[in-house]
Amino acid sequence: MPLEMPPSALGARVAALNDRYRHHSATAVLERALHDPEVGSLALVSSFGAESVVLLHLVSVVAPGTPVIFIDTQMLFPETLEYQRDLAQRLNLTDLRTIRADRRDTDFADPDGTLNQFDTDACCHLRKVVPLERALGGFDGWITGRKRFQSGTRSALEFFEDEEDRRIKVNPLAHWGREDLEDYIVNNRLPRHPLVARGYPSIGCAPCTSPVREGEDPRAGRWRGAKKDECGIHFINGRAVRGPLPQDHAKEDAA
């Protein structure tokens, strides 16, 4: 069962954890977070996207029995589903949990599967946010692969975050750069997502992901043309962050 505590206590714990592990490596943060009673029970949430193999491999080495939650939006690329099956087998992920939106919800809110064409936020909420919230109900926190370099809204990312006074969010790779990821993949001979070679450095649902041209931001292909660069499963100040934050929010950025 998740640890119970007053809201103010969670924020204090997160601050203490960031102070304790501030100078630790990604591997040390991950390993100790998985065994630190001050953190509680954790699950890794993975999209099995372009960079996911790094954190999945780290978890498979540090604590292979860690629950891994994969959100199948039922709009993913076939290559992502194939990659997910391949990695789960290669890395011997023993507690992989594939979650999907409740069919009753999709039948009501998106019966013809076209919601993404009219309201991408509503589609993400239906197919990602709600199923993930249900899946995380039995955990004290979750592990993400977010990194500071990925976009301006992540530039102040810490190892530990307080998610709306409900759960802890752990970001072991927060300080890694693109070159660190590349070196890790090469040195450990890890398989890459097949779409990376076809110009997809950031991969989401098929209808909302396009190739990225040379010189563009790696996330430029996500929801191209829309004022949106997050799916909504990360929050700040009690709301989903779906785009760049105003400058005065830089220090509290948790997207």
The tokens for 102 are 């409740």
Mean pLDDT computed over every residue of the chain = 84
Residues with catalytic roles:
231
Instruction: Give the mean pLDDT of 109-118.
Output: 93
3-state helix/strand/coil string of the chain: CCCCCCHHHHHHHHHHHHHHCCCCCHHHHHHHHHHCCCCCCEEEEECCCCCHHHHHHHHHHHCCCCCEEEECCCCECHHHHHHHHHHHHHCCCCCEEEECCCHHHHHHHCCCCCHHHHCHHHHHHHHHHHHHHHHHHHCCEEECCCCHHHCHHHCCCCCEEEECCCEEEECCCCCCCHHHHHHHHHHCCCCCCCCHHHCCCCCCEHHHECCCCCCCCCCCCECCCCCCCCCCCCEECCEECCCCCCHHHHHHCCC
Q: What is the band of 147 on the pLDDT scale with cuts at 50, 70, 90? A: confident
Instruction: Give the mean pLDDT of 1-22.
Output: 79
Q: What is the band of 81 on the pLDDT scale with cuts at 50, 70, 90? A: very high
Residue 14 burial by Cβ neighbours in a 10 Å radius (0-12, 13-18, 19+): buried
For residue 196, pLDDT beyond 60: yes
For residue 155, pLDDT beyond 90: no
Say what the pLDDT of residue 236 is. 42
Domain ranges of the chain: 7-196
Say what the pLDDT of residue 103 is. 95
- Say how many CA atoms lie within 13 Å of 123 toward its Cβ: 22
Of all residues in the chain, the percent with pLDDT exceeding 70 is 82
Say what the pLDDT of residue 247 is. 34
Supply the CATH classification number for the domain 7-196: 3.40.50.620
Instruction: Give the mean pLDDT of 160-178.
Output: 91
